[in-house]
Amino acid sequence: MFLMDAHNDTPYRMYFEGGNLSENNFQNSIQKQKGFRTLLFYAIFMDPEKLKKFPSPRAYFDTLYDYFVKELSQNKESVEWVTDASTFTKSQKQQAILTVEGGSLIKSVEAVDYLWSKKIKILTLTWNDSNLLGSSAMSGDAGGLTPLGRQVVQKMNSLGMISDLSHASDKTFWDVMKVSEKPVLVSHSNARSLCNHPRNITDEMFRALMENGGTLGINFYPSFLEDEPQKADLESIFHHIEHFLELGGENHIGFGSDFDGVDALPKGITDFSSFSKIIKEMERRNYPKNLIEKICYKNMMRILS
Ligand SMILES: [Zn+2]
């Protein structure tokens, strides 16, 4: 089964906790992907706390990036580092795309060229903290996209780098929708009408995402699935999937598990291998094969082509 997952923080965990990509005690590893042919988006997470210990955000990025690139090369028998999805279903190996979560290292448009030269395909414009590009969902800052943020989105459009609007404030989201001429990604967020959290998106935002041609990755973090997170389970994941399907999202949803970026998971979900349960549940619910394929990889593949 082909499977794309639009967000994990495995590089961050590996760097700060030690451990390798082939097997570890984390939520994602090559071993845990057994049985799937995967293309995963591995985020270099720009943690505002951790990067204070580095001379600059750029130095922090370079350190985590070099670490993970080395890890990829040590596992090159089983994982291939790619920048688009054109070879995904033909490759005999698992595939990895590198992304940056949080634009705090971008002080000028030239920094986008730097990330592009490093084969960074996707940039999550903000994390929980607002930055020079725009305001974030968790900051309560209503500023939206800044003039620099606007230039950065245009630059990314011209290069083919994808804007990821998970973590963006509503205002930033709407501002990017006006500026971006390319499909955007909302890599790891759910439906706010089912779980009232600022990290989730409203139905109106999802409709705009569909119009833009973009794709959203369903996040498994309990606090983004249920207003009472302790109640989150497999069923909760399906509430969000089916809500987006009811809005007409058949071509616009996929997965963005957030594995290794979260300290809790829904009941019954333990790590990457739990995807097999999710796919079995789709089959049990009589989802047509084509719909299962769209959610598992085709909708994510489209925005990467
Ligand atoms: Zn995140």
What are residue 8's DSSP bridge partners? Answer: 42, 259
The pLDDT value given to residue 286: 98
Gap from CA of 258 to ligand 1 centroid (Å):
7
Gap from CA of 9 to ligand 1 centroid (Å):
8
DSSP sequence for 194-249: TS--TTSB-HHHHHHHHHHT-EEEEP--HHHH-SSGGG-BHHHHHHHHHHHHHTT-
The pLDDT value given to residue 125: 98
Closest CA to 104 of 157, 167, 159: 167
DSSP letter assigned to residue 54? S
Gap from CA of 268 to ligand 1 centroid (Å):
22
The pLDDT value given to residue 262: 97
Tell me the C-alpha distance between 102 and 64, whole Å. 14
Gap from CA of 288 to ligand 1 centroid (Å):
31
Tell me the C-alpha distance between 45 and 122, whole Å. 12
Gap from CA of 218 to ligand 1 centroid (Å):
12
DSSP letter assigned to residue 120? E
Q: List Cα–Cα distances, 288 to 180, 253, 275, 283, 293, in angstroms.
A: 33, 15, 18, 8, 9
| H helical segments located in 232-298 | 234-246, 275-284, 289-293
Tell me the C-alpha distance between 26 and 189, whole Å. 21
Gap from CA of 54 to ligand 1 centroid (Å):
21
Burial of 263 (0-12, 13-18, 19+ CB in 10 A): exposed
Tell me the C-alpha distance between 152 and 150, whole Å. 5
Gap from CA of 61 to ligand 1 centroid (Å):
16
Gap from CA of 284 to ligand 1 centroid (Å):
30
Tell me the C-alpha distance between 19 and 177, whole Å. 39
pTM of the full structure: 0.98
DSSP letter assigned to residue 8? E
Gap from CA of 24 to ligand 1 centroid (Å):
21
CATH code (residue 250): 3.20.20.140
Gap from CA of 101 to ligand 1 centroid (Å):
7
Low-confidence ranges of the chain (pLDDT < 50): none
Gap from CA of 190 to ligand 1 centroid (Å):
12
CB atoms within 10 A of CB 95: 18
What's the number of domains the chain is made of?
1
CB atoms within 10 A of CB 221: 24
The domain of 195 spans: 2-303
The answer to whether the beta carbons of residues 186 and 172 sit under 8 Å apart is no
The pLDDT value given to residue 305: 82
Write the pLDDT tens digit of every residue in 172-208: 999 999 999 999 999 999 999 999 999 999 999 999 9
Gap from CA of 89 to ligand 1 centroid (Å):
27
Closest CA to 100 of 136, 142, 53, 58: 58
Gap from CA of 168 to ligand 1 centroid (Å):
10
Gap from CA of 8 to ligand 1 centroid (Å):
8
Gap from CA of 166 to ligand 1 centroid (Å):
7
Task: Reduce the DSSP state of residue 62 to 3 states and report it.
Answer: helix
Gap from CA of 189 to ligand 1 centroid (Å):
9
Gap from CA of 63 to ligand 1 centroid (Å):
20
What are residue 79's DSSP bridge partners? Answer: 94
Gap from CA of 99 to ligand 1 centroid (Å):
12
The pLDDT value given to residue 25: 95
Gap from CA of 256 to ligand 1 centroid (Å):
10
The pLDDT value given to residue 222: 98
Gap from CA of 3 to ligand 1 centroid (Å):
20
